[in-house]
Amino acid sequence: MTNMFAPPSPLVVALAYDGLCMFEFGVAVEVFGLDRPEMGDDWYRFAIASAESRKIRSTAGLRLSVDGGLELLEQAGTIIVPGWRGADARVPDDLVKALRRAHARGARLMSICSGVFVLAASGLLHGRKVTTHWRYTEKLAAQFPDLTIVPDVLYVDEGQILTSAGSAAGIDLCLHLIRRDKGADSANSVARRLVVPAHRDGGQAQYIEAHVPSAHESARLGRIFDHMRAQLHRPITLSELAGLSGMSERTLLRRFDAATGTTPAKWLQGERLRKARQLLEEGAATIDDIAAACGFGSSTNLRHHFRKGLGTTPTAYRASFSVLAQP
């Protein structure tokens, strides 16, 4: 398999520093740092490099031993930058210089979640497409306006530089890198050991938390919410909801927006998609039955709204869960 972005070395080096985000760091260790004899002799090698001192304390207070300092980056084919300790935290000059040297000699650089701030500080992302956790996109854009931020994807592959969205999206990016280097069978094998889908379609829109109404407004509008959830299978009009609430349509819209940040129609659409996702995850009903049960009318309409709202298809979404159920 020809790979124009093949690493110059099989060594994968994960950076560590005070304030290290352990989940993102753990992803790198789990994917690249474990012995995998079934993969043969040409599998990756793994090391941990300290970006500062040799003694590291993580966000959870855990202390971490490392294999070396920034000199390890000189040998690395792939460098992983886990979540950085803060979007406003300064990136040490020595680390910036080491990343630039590694990039110049052909090493691949990969960030997980807020690790993108480290790569951005190095200047190596200038003019590139990148992503990060949806909570950081505005701050990243403000600090580095020369970047093209893609907010609704799980990861971005720019060849020699790769960036992922929130924490778990780091798994997706690592599996993507294995697929790129070693082929689909190797990526599927690692995914199977991790008990995760080998590939997830869609983007961060699937995982962003919905707006939750305040307790006060939730109590006042509780009958409206309950009614819509119970009647997802059929059309619901604003006048129907206004009559149920004892408010005028204008008053209902105003209070509904104050409670949820959206309109009844958009809230209802979100609930229909949520119910559709639940039924797809359970795996029993047909696409046509799910479309009818959730008020979409037809499988075509369900596919349209699923793609528009979640960036994937009902079939692909269901498949990502069926992978986990395979023996």
Residue 62: name the closest of 15, 112, 22 by CA: 22
On the question of pLDDT at 209 being above 50, the answer is no
| pLDDT confidence of residue 326 | 47
Q: Are 50 and 66 in contact (CB under 8 A)?
A: yes
Considering only residues 208 and 305, tell me which one the structure prediction assigns the higher pLDDT: 305
| pLDDT confidence of residue 220 | 63
Calculate mean pLDDT across residues 94-116: 96
Domain boundaries, the chain: 11-206, 215-325
Q: What percent of the chain has pLDDT over 70?
A: 88
What is the average pLDDT score of the chain? 85
Residue 116: name the closest of 141, 139, 83 by CA: 83
Q: Which CATH architecture has domain 215-325?
A: Orthogonal Bundle (1.10)
Q: Which of 32-46, 94-108, 206-220, 237-251 has the lowest mean pLDDT?
A: 206-220
> How far apart (Å, rounded) are the C-alpha atoms in residues 291 and 286?
9
In this predicted model, what pLDDT tens digit does every residue of 3-19 receive, in sequence order?
A: 556 677 899 999 999 88
Q: Which CATH number fits domain 11-206: 3.40.50.880, 3.40.50.10470, 2.70.98.10, 3.30.70.120?
A: 3.40.50.880
Q: Which of 170-174, 178-182, 202-206, 222-226 has the lowest mean pLDDT?
A: 202-206
| pLDDT confidence of residue 1 | 36
> How far apart (Å, rounded) are the C-alpha atoms in residues 20 and 58?
4
| pLDDT confidence of residue 100 | 97
pLDDT band at 255 (very low <50, low <70, confident <90, very high): confident
Q: Which of 165-174, 178-187, 207-216, 287-296 has the lowest mean pLDDT?
A: 207-216
Q: Are 323 and 198 in contact (CB under 8 A)?
A: yes
| pLDDT confidence of residue 286 | 93
In this predicted model, what pLDDT tens digit does every residue of 160-197 receive, in sequence order?
A: 999 999 888 999 999 989 988 988 788 888 988 887 87
pLDDT band at 210 (very low <50, low <70, confident <90, very high): very low
End-to-end Cα separation, the chain, in angstroms: 29
Q: Are 11 and 75 in contact (CB under 8 A)?
A: yes
| pLDDT confidence of residue 38 | 87
